[in-house]
Amino acid sequence: MIVLGIETSCDETGIALYSGEQGLVAHRLHSQVATHAVYGGVVPELASRDHVRRVVPLVQDCLAEAGLAAADIDGIAYARGPGLAGALLVGGSIADGLGWALDCPVLGVHHMEAHLLAPMLEPNPPAFPFLALLVSGGHTLLVEVADIGRYRVLGESLDDAAGEAFDKTAKLLGLPYPGGPQLEALARDGDPDRFRFPRPMTDRPGLDFSFSGLKTAVLKAVREADADDATHAAIARAFQDAVVDTFAIKVRRALEQTGVGHLVVAGGVGANQALRDRLHQVAESRGAVMACPPLAFCTDNGAMIAYAGYRRLLAGERETGPVDIRPRWPMDELRVPGPAG
Ligand code: ATP
Ligand code: MG
Ligand code: FE
C-alpha cells in the first residue's frame, strides 16, 4: 500500500510517499519561513496561499523521486488539525480532489498524533506502551501512549507552548523568527552561571507546564543587563537550562508514575540537542529507552502524516464525508484505528 501524505497545518508544505513494503520512499518540504520572517510570525492568509502554490508540484517531485505514477497511490492522508483553518483546508481540499481523481480513499489525520508517531519511521521504533513528550510551536504535551490511538494526556502547558517560549525569548534577544534553533546556537557560548531563571511549576505535584512567567523573567533580565553579545548568550543559556530542567523533572516524574520503559520526544523543540541529551540521561537513569525522530522529522513534515495515515488506512479507516478540518482537536478524542474511525 502506498500512501501520499499532505501536511499544510501551518507554515510548512510537507509531502511524502510511504510504502507499506519499503517504508518512506520520497519526501519534500517547502518552508515558508522567509515569507513570514518580515512579520515576526506566521500570517495565516499568506500561509494558505503559499500552500495552494506548493502542494501539487511537490507531489509531482515526490512521485518522480520514488519512480512512481499518480495511479500507484493507494490512499491519501492529510493533516485535518489542529492548525490554521485556511491552511488545513488547502491540504484537505487537494487531498479530496486527488482522491476523487485517483479513485482512492482519503483520510484526515491528527497532526500531533503524526508528530508522536514520527519515531516509528526509524529503524528501531519505540515499543508500546511509551511516554511521549510532544514539544512544538503550538503544543506542550506529556502523553501516555498505550497504542496507536490510545492516548492519555498527563500534562500540558497552561499558557505558552515550549516552542512559543523559545521563539518569544529569541525575539527578546533580537534573534530572527523562528528563533528556537538560533537561541540554541547562541546558548552554546553562554556562561551558565551568570543568570538563573525559575523552573516553573516544578515545586508542586502534577505534570502541567507554564512558560509565560519564564518569558517575563527573561524580559526583566534583558532590560536590566547590558546588551552585549556575551550577556545575551548567557541569558539564552539560562533560559534553555530552565526549560531543559523543567522538562527533565516532569519527564522523570511521568516515567515514575506510569512505569513505562520507553520515552519518545517529538515536535520541533525535540530538535534541541541540550534537551535530547538531558532527557536521554533521565530515561537511562530510569532504565528506559529514549527514541527521537531524525531532526528533519521533528518539525513539520509530510512523512509523519503519510505514516499516521498509512496506519489508519491499513486498518480500514475511511473519511465518511467531505473534507472536515479540525483547527482545534484534543488528542484524547482519538480512537484506535479502524473502520468505525
Ligand atoms: P504544532 O505542531 O504544535 O502545530 P508547529 O508545527 O509550528 O506547531 P513544529 O514545526 O513541530 O511546530 O516546531 C516548530 C517549533 O520548534 C518552533 O517554535 C521552533 O522555534 C522550535 N524549534 C525548532 N528547532 C529548535 C531547537 N533546536 N531548539 C528549540 N526550539 C526549536
Ligand atoms: Mg512550523
Ligand atoms: Fe507541528
> Measured from the CB, is residue 157 less than 6 Å from ligand 1?
no
> Measured from the CB, is residue 5 less than 6 Å from ligand 1?
no
> Measured from the CB, is residue 178 less than 6 Å from ligand 1?
yes
pLDDT at 13: 98
> Measured from the CB, is residue 267 less than 6 Å from ligand 1?
yes
Give the bridge partners for 174, in sequence order.
none
Which residue's CA is the nearest one to ligand 1's atom 10?
A: 299
Rounded-to-integer distance, Cα 324 and Cα 288, Å: 39
Write down the ipTM of this complex. Answer: 0.98
Q: Ligand nearest 31 Cα, by number?
A: 2
pLDDT at 329: 97
Distance from residue 309's CA to the centre of ligand 1 (Å): 22
Q: Are 152 and 144 in contact (CB under 8 A)?
A: yes
Rounded-to-integer distance, Cα 197 and Cα 217, Å: 7
**Three-state secondary structure call for residue 7:** strand
Contact partners, residue 180, CB within 8 Å, separation at least 6: 163, 166, 167, 170, 268, 269, 271, 272
Domains plus CATH for the chain? 2-116+297-333 (3.30.420.40), 127-292 (3.30.420.40)
Residues annotated in a binding site:
111, 115, 134-138, 167, 180, 184, 272, 300
Note if the bond before 198 is cis, omega within 30 degrees.
no
Cell representation of residue 254: 511521568
**Three-state secondary structure call for residue 31:** strand
pLDDT at 178: 86
* Dihedral Cα 95, 101, 103, 108, nearest 10 deg: 10
Q: Looking at the CA of residue 162, tell me the nearest atom of ligand 1.
A: 18
Rounded-to-integer distance, Cα 46 and Cα 17, Å: 26
Which residue's CA is the nearest one to ligand 1's atom 3?
A: 138
pLDDT at 245: 98
Contact partners, residue 260, CB within 8 Å, separation at least 6: 129, 130, 131, 144, 288
Distance from residue 103's CA to the centre of ligand 2 (Å): 31
Which run of H or of E encompasses 251?
helix 229-258
Q: Looking at the CA of residue 161, tell me the nearest atom of ligand 1.
A: 3
Mean pLDDT by 10 residues, the chain (341 residues): 98 98 98 93 96 98 98 98 98 97 97 97 94 97 98 97 96 92 97 97 96 94 94 98 98 98 97 98 97 95 98 95 94 92 49
Strand stretches in the chain, DSSP E: 2-7, 12-19, 23-31, 75-81, 106-110, 130-135, 140-147, 150-156, 262-266, 289-291
Cell representation of residue 76: 491519501
* Dihedral Cα 35, 38, 40, 43, nearest 10 deg: -40
Rounded-to-integer distance, Cα 296 and Cα 242, Å: 25
pLDDT at 228: 95
Which residue's CA is the nearest one to ligand 1's atom 16?
A: 268
> Measured from the CB, is residue 113 less than 6 Å from ligand 1?
no
pTM (2 d.p.): 0.96
pLDDT at 40: 87
